[in-house]
Amino acid sequence: MAAPLLNGLALLLALGFRRNRAVLALSVLTFVSVGLVGFGAAELERGADAARMFAPWLLLATAALPERSLLARRNLVLLLLLATAAWLTLAAPAHVWSGLRGALPFGALPWRAGSIAAVLAFFAAALCVLRWVLIGAPMEAGLGIVLALVACALLPMLQTDAVRMALGLAGLCSCAAVLYASYRMAFVDALSGLPNRRALDETLSRLSGDFAVAMVDVDHFKQFNDTHGHDAGDRVLQSVAAQLRRTRNGRAFRYGGEEFCILFTGARVRDAAQSCEDARARIEATRVRVRSAKRKANAHPTEVKVTASIGLATRDNYTRYPSDVLKAADQALYKAKAKGRNRVIAR
């Protein structure tokens, strides 16, 4: 009973957080859970056969589909197919069911249906892992693990207890994947991979004791965007973020636009100015390869130099609240820009 309930819970979470591909995959997974282990004594007749006949194809389709609105036509077609599979499981006449068992998943192959189903589910898991490697979306990694567990559950040699365990783990992993992906969507900037402004506000609200804040602004970024295009600008922001992530004793955040923030706490405050200078020097030494949007499509990429201005402020008797320290760091940043940019000014 635990496996269907866990998978159903994961499905509700995916619906709540609008993870639409996860909704499709977890709908199929819930179907598999009910089919293979049922609800204790009330197990569905034909359930195990139905899970191995229909689910692998539906999982493959889910793994291949891009993220779209839940009511997109392709998603509705897949949900209709799932509903049809459930209806056939419950209501198909005996002779129709016998014909389906002989044809699905690959009736012409000499392997057992469960082995073929497991292979197809493993292939669906591989597609999700490949998508994760290509685009870095954590939800894809989670779906890959979940579908691999489903593939194990579909193997014909597994005992009932092992099937229940595999599907229960799949449900737990599904819940964790949806929650983690939703956390990243809320608190991690998608472009830079750094914690975002909301994460900074949450962190500042819990601070006590000494801390320092550095505001970082990419020099002449608007002019760079106008010259080279927004794709090149995104590459520059990613490069700057990578250097700020290496800041010794500090934690970097994406503040918004071309601005970043570095937070230093406790004893690390003493080295904040030197850490900011090191970060500024690393950014200045970095060369970013970009292809200008205003050049011909077959033009070779060019290397561009990027610099940043940094304003640093430390909590003291005059700036005790995080909002005051942020404002002071912003004022120091404006001084750095007024004095010629590409420098660190500490207040």
Tokens found for residue 112:
């057992």
pLDDT digits (tens, 9 = 90+) for 89-107: 888 888 888 888 888 888 7
Residue 201 pLDDT class (50, 70, 90 cuts) = very high
Res. 329: pLDDT tops 90? yes
Average pLDDT over every residue of 297-310 = 79
**DSSP state for residue 341 in the 8-state scheme:** S
Tokens found for residue 291:
């292809």
Whether this prediction's pTM lies above 0.85 is answered by: no
With a pLDDT cut of 70, the percent of the chain lying above it is 95
**Across-strand partners of 308?**
218
List the Cα angle 265/271/275 in 5-degree steps: 100
Give me the phi and psi of 298, to 5 degrees please. Answer: -95, 10
Count CA atoms closer than 13 A to 264's CA, side-chain side: 23
**DSSP state for residue 42 in the 8-state scheme:** G
Taking alpha carbons only, the member of 338, 331, 309 closest to residue 240 is: 309
Domain layout of the chain by residue ranges: 2-185, 197-346
Residue 299 pLDDT class (50, 70, 90 cuts) = low
Q: Is 119 helix (H, G, I), strand (E, B) or coil?
A: helix
E strand residue ranges, the chain: 211-218, 251-256, 259-265, 287-290, 302-305, 308-314, 344-346
Q: Do residues 230 and 219 lie in contact, with contact meaning Cβ atoms separated by under 8 Å?
A: no
Q: Is 258 helix (H, G, I), strand (E, B) or coil?
A: coil
With a pLDDT cut of 90, the percent of the chain lying above it is 50
**DSSP state for residue 321 in the 8-state scheme:** S
More confident residue, 264 or 289: 264
**Across-strand partners of 55?**
none
Residue 292 pLDDT class (50, 70, 90 cuts) = low
pLDDT recorded at residue 87: 92
pLDDT recorded at residue 41: 43
Residue 42 pLDDT class (50, 70, 90 cuts) = very low
Gap between the Cα atoms of 84 and 307, Å rounded: 59
Q: Could you please report the per-residue DSSP string of 274-300?
A: HHHHHHHHHHHH-EEEE--TTS-TTPP
pLDDT digits (tens, 9 = 90+) for 128-186: 999 999 888 888 999 999 999 999 999 888 888 898 899 999 999 999 999 998 888 88
Burial class from Cβ neighbours inside 10 Å (0-12, 13-18, 19+) for residue 318 reads exposed
Gap between the Cα atoms of 215 and 263, Å rounded: 9
Residue 293 pLDDT class (50, 70, 90 cuts) = low
Q: Could you please report the per-residue DSSP string of 168-181?
A: HHHHHHHHHHHHHH
Gap between the Cα atoms of 347 and 332, Å rounded: 6
Position 163: which residue type?
V
Average pLDDT over every residue of 234-253 = 93
pLDDT recorded at residue 57: 93
In whole angstroms, how far apart are CA 334 and each of 84, 231, 253, 264, 273? 64, 27, 19, 20, 17
CATH class, 197-346 region: alpha beta
Q: Is 22 helix (H, G, I), strand (E, B) or coil?
A: helix
Give me the phi and psi of 254, to 5 degrees please. Answer: -90, 115
Lowest mean pLDDT among 39-43, 215-219, 241-245, 333-337: 39-43
More confident residue, 316 or 274: 274
Taking alpha carbons only, the member of 131, 143, 132 closest to residue 173 is: 143
pLDDT digits (tens, 9 = 90+) for 109-127: 777 788 899 999 999 999 9
